[in-house]
A and B are shown apart, each in its own frame.
Chain A
Amino acid sequence: MAEELMEQLDNHTAFTIPVFGGIPVPDSCVVTWIIIAVLVLLSIILTRKLKKVPTGSQCILEAFMDFLDNFFTGILGPKGKKYVPILETFIIYIGFANIIGVFGFVPPTKDINVTAALAGMAIILVQASFIIEKGPVKWLKSFLNPINLLDLVTRPLSLCMRLFGNVLGAFVVMELIKHLIPGGVPVIASGYFDLFDGLLQAYVFAFLTSLYMAEALEEEEKHEKKAKKRVQLHGGK
């Protein structure tokens, strides 16, 4: 049984592209293509006949997007409004990737390469937003504080490991439950491990990324305000 589980943990290669001596395409990549296709189809179908007064599925779609918009703009503030769509993309993709185990696919986030790439994208996004908002000079100056340099390593590492560990943990527990009690119980357990935990992790990933971003966007303002206050105080004296 242990060997069976170990085999499940390995990342299988779905097929190999026969160029440059063969490029292996892992399962996670193929499942990601499926997710992309589903999301594109959903976007086309759901936004085909938009009305001013929403009815039916448009109501749900608008409520969902409103929730995400308000959530992220609440954290980032009005200044970070242009970064909201990519954070929403993160949460939607990771959410779908985590709960796709319900439909019998291997969740792509079970592959550590996928979560590492996502964490790398997240940290690049945070640094890029810092450079865009404050300029490269201030960005370089921020590394005078060595904690910021350390953050460049620890943040993506923890983002990557958190997502990977959670999905893998849920996967292992689900395999064990399926092995021990094949009937009935896995359905209930799947509701918690696949649906609830998966969506929660997607939420946490996007939430932490937006928090890091909010820090990058706003930290300076507080200092400036404090400096201004100090100037005013001293001027008053």
Chain B
Amino acid sequence: MGIIALGAAVAVLTGAGAGIGIGLATAKATESIARQPEAKGDIRTALLLGCALAEATAIYGFVIALLIILSLGSK
């Protein structure tokens, strides 16, 4: 079980990438809102799309970790 848990933990490290991605996207979005407050709505939709796509990597890591534990851990 020990090495399987370690594998799952490595899979969940994808969260770091998602965090960096969302952080960068939000930083740029706030910058552009400060520069052009009138384009707020468009920037918000674009930001949400980017965040959803960046966040997906973290979710994939989570699903893979769960699959590792569920399929290997039960054996």
Residues of A within 8 A of B (CB): 6, 9, 158, 161-162, 164-166, 168-169, 203-204, 207-208, 211
> How far is the CB of A118 from the nearest CB of chain B, in Å?
15
| Residues of A with C-beta under 8 A to B56 | 158, 161-162
Q: How many A-B contacts are there with CB distance less than 8 Å?
A: 33
Asked, given contacts A161-B59, A161-B60, A162-B59, whether A168 binds B52 with beta carbons under 8 Å apart, the answer is: no
| Residues of B with C-beta under 8 A to A161 | 56, 59-60, 63
> How far is the CB of A123 from the nearest CB of chain B, in Å?
16
Task: Report the count of interface residues on B (CB-CB < 8 A).
Answer: 12
Q: Does B48 contact A (CB under 8 A)?
A: yes
CB distance A204 to B62 under 8 Å? no
Complex: A166 Cα to B55 Cα, angstroms: 10
CB distance A211 to B52 under 8 Å? no
> How far is the CB of B60 from the nearest CB of chain A, in Å?
6
Complex: A220 Cα to B18 Cα, angstroms: 33
> How far is the CB of B55 from the nearest CB of chain A, in Å?
8
CB distance A164 to B63 under 8 Å? yes
